[in-house]
Amino acid sequence: MRPTPDSDLRESPESPTATALPDNGDLLWAWDALRGVIDPELGLDIVSLGLVYDVRTEGGTVVVDMTLTTPGCPASESMSLMAHYAVTQADERDGGVVDVRIVWDPPWSTQMIDKVAAEALGFHFRHSD
């Protein structure tokens, strides 16, 4: 479960962060590859920042749904190209195709950042009761 933009940023083992991965390990390699993509403005990886919403397969294509911090993000083209390159390079499937899609729903917010990345950016967590 991904935190929603209106949820509180909390530290809780029961509340997974934006980097919670799917239960099936089929695409963990793609998630790992995306962890190597660094947002050039924030200096942290796009998975920890909560910019990657979904990684799935559609037919023979690995589809990555990701967003940007703002619609006018100056790194918009380079971020999707970096994500595409990272997943393509990690893809060991014969003839695998990768499709990176920029989506705007839900809108990204700081509540989507995982705990470690949030602390690196100076955000503070409220402790759950």
pLDDT digits (tens, 9 = 90+) for 62-109: 999 999 988 887 887 899 999 999 999 999 888 889 999 999 999 998
Q: Calculate the alpha carbon distances from 70 to 51, 53, 76, 104 in Å.
A: 11, 15, 9, 9
User: Is residue 69 one of the residues assigned to a domain?
Assistant: yes
User: Is residue 64 one of the residues assigned to a domain?
Assistant: yes
Pair of tokens at residue 84: 């595409």
Q: Calculate the alpha carbon distances from 54 to 84, 126, 128 in Å.
A: 14, 26, 27
User: Is residue 4 one of the residues assigned to a domain?
Assistant: no
pLDDT at position 121 is 80
115: pLDDT confidence band, cut at 50, 70 and 90? confident
25: pLDDT confidence band, cut at 50, 70 and 90? low
In angstroms, the CA 115 to CA 101 distance is 25
* CATH assignment at residue 89: 3.30.300.130
User: Is residue 68 one of the residues assigned to a domain?
Assistant: yes
User: Is residue 2 one of the residues assigned to a domain?
Assistant: no
When divided into structural domains, the chain yields a total of 1
User: Is residue 40 one of the residues assigned to a domain?
Assistant: yes
**Among 83, 102, 67, 92, which residue's Cα sits nearest to residue 33?**
83
pLDDT tens sequence across 29-75: 999 999 999 998 888 899 999 999 999 999 989 999 999 988 887 88
User: Is residue 5 one of the residues assigned to a domain?
Assistant: no
Section 8-36 average pLDDT: 62
pLDDT of 12 > 60? The answer is no
Residue 94's domain spans which residues? 10-127
pLDDT at position 7 is 38
User: Is residue 24 one of the residues assigned to a domain?
Assistant: yes
